Structure 1
C-alpha cells in the first residue's frame, strides 16, 4: 500500500531523515518507535505532504505522491492525526468533524459516517455542541482521530495518540485504534509508549537520528532484550 524508498528530508541545512525506507501493507498496523527527535514526526509530515523529501520516492497504491499537494494526498485516502491534536478550538465538536469531510464528494454518506464516529466515541456525541477548546486532552485526542476518520481514509497516520493521557485513557485509545484497523483502515502509528504500540502492531521500525536501524515483527521486538533495554524501560 505504501512504499517509501530512500527519502532524505532537510530542515534548512539540517538533515532530519537519512535514506529512510519502509513499507506498509494493506490491513496492517505498522509502528515507528524511537527517542524524541529521532525523525518520526518528520516522516509522517513528509508522507502527508507537509514536508517535501529532497530525494527518494513515496509510492501509495503504486502511484508516486511525493510531489502531490496535501489535499491531493488526503483525497487519495491518506489522513494524518498530528501530534498535539490540533483541533479547531473555537469550533464545536461537530463542526470539527464536519470539516474532516470537507473534500468529500459523497455528501450523502457523511451523516452516516458522523454517526459511526459517535458510535466509536460516545463522549463526542455527548459533547457535539461544545467548543472543542473546552474538551479534556483525551476528548481532544478522540476528536482529532474522529475528524481524520471523516475523510474516509484507507491509510491513517497517527502521531503520538497517547501523549499526555492518563493510563486508563491510553488503553481506551489503543483499543479504538485496533477497532479502526479491524474495520478496514490501515494504520501507521508513531508512539512514545513503545510497549503499547508493539502490543497492537503487526510490524515495527526503529528510527534513531533520522535513520531506520531495525525493523521486524512487532511481537518479536517486544520480546527482544535489546529493544526492552533501549525503548521499553527494561520491562
Structure 2
C-alpha cells in the first residue's frame, strides 16, 4: 500500500532523513520507533504532504505522490493523526468530526460513521456539544483519531498517540488502534512507547538520526538485545 524509496528531507542545512526506505503492506500495522529527533515525525509528514522532500519517491497504492497537496492525499485515502493531536479547540466535538468528513457528501455514510466513532469512543458522544479545548488529553486523542476516521482512510498515520496520557488511557487507545486495523484500515504508527508499539505491530523500523538502522518483524525486534537495551529499558 505504501512504499518509501530513498527519501531525503532537509530543514535548511540539517539533513533530517537520509535515504529512508519503508514499506507498509495492506492490512498491516507497521511501527517506527526511535529516540526524539530520529526522523519519525518527519517521515509521516513527508508521506502526508506536509513536509517537502528533496529526493526520493513515495508511492501510495503504486502511484507516486510527490508534490500532491495534503488535502488531495486525504481525498485519496491517507489519514494523519498528528503529534500533539491538533484538534480545533474552539470548535465542538461534533464540529471537529464534521471537518473530518469535509471531503465527503454521502450523508447516510457520514451518519453511520458518526455512530461508529461514538461506539468506539463513548466519551465523545457524552461530550458531543462540548468545546474540544476543554476535553482531557485522552479525550482529545480520541477526537483526533475519530476526526481522521471520518474520512474513511485506507492508510492511517498515527504520530505519538500515547504522548502525555495516563497508562489506563494508553491501553484503551492501543486497543482501539487494533480494532481500527481489524476493521480494514492499514496503520503506520510512530510511538515512543516502543514496547506497546511492538506488541501490536506486524513489523517495525528503528530510526536513528535520520537513518533506518534496523527492521524486521515486531516479535523479532522485541527480542533483539540492542532494541531491548536502547528502547525498552531492559
TM-score (norm 2): 0.99
* Structure 2: gaps (5+ residues): none
Partner residue in 2 for 1:202: 202
Aligned ranges 1:51-200 → 2 under 5 Å: 51-200=51-200
Runs of 4+ with >2 A deviation? 105-108
Cα distance per residue 1:195-224 (max 9 Å; x no partner)? 000000000000000010000000111111
Alignment-derived partner of residue 217 in structure 1: 217
**C-alpha distance in 1 between matches for 2:104 and 2:22:** 29
Superimposed CA distance per residue, residues 171-197 of structure 1 (whole angstroms, 9 cap, x where no aligned partner): 110000000000000000000000000
How many residue pairs match? The answer is: 234
Q: Give the distance between the partners of 2:79 and 2:228, measured in 1 at CA.
A: 31
Partners in 2 of 1:184 and 1:53 — Cα distance?
Answer: 29
In 2: Cα distance, 1:23 partner to 1:114 partner = 31
Cα distance in 2 for partners of 1:63, 1:79 equals 17
Over residues 73-130 of structure 1, what are the superposed CA-to-partner deviations in whole Å (9 max), with x where a residue is unaligned?
A: 0011001000001110110000000100001132331111111000000010000000
State how far apart, in whole Å, the 2-side matches of 1:188 and 1:139 are: 21
Tell me the CA shift for residue 226 of structure 1: 1.4
The separation in 1 between residues aligned to 2:126 and 2:119, in whole angstroms, is 11
Paired position in structure 1 for 2:38: 38
Using structure 1 for the length normalisation, give the TM-score: 0.98
**Alignment partners' CA distance in 2, 1:224 and 1:73:** 36
SS of residue paired to 1:6: strand
Mean CA deviation greater in 106-115 or 194-203: 106-115
Q: Secondary structure at the match of 1:98?
A: helix
**Post-superposition shift, 1:66?**
1.6
Q: Distance in 2 between matches of 1:132 and 1:223?
A: 40
Partners of 1:117 and 1:108 in 2: how far apart?
14
Using the alignment, how far apart are the partners of 1:220 and 1:113 within structure 2?
A: 36
- Between the aligned partners of 1:225 and 1:45, the Cα distance in structure 2 is 30
Secondary structure of the corresponding residue to residue 173 of structure 2: helix
Tell me the SS of whatever aligns to 1:171.
helix
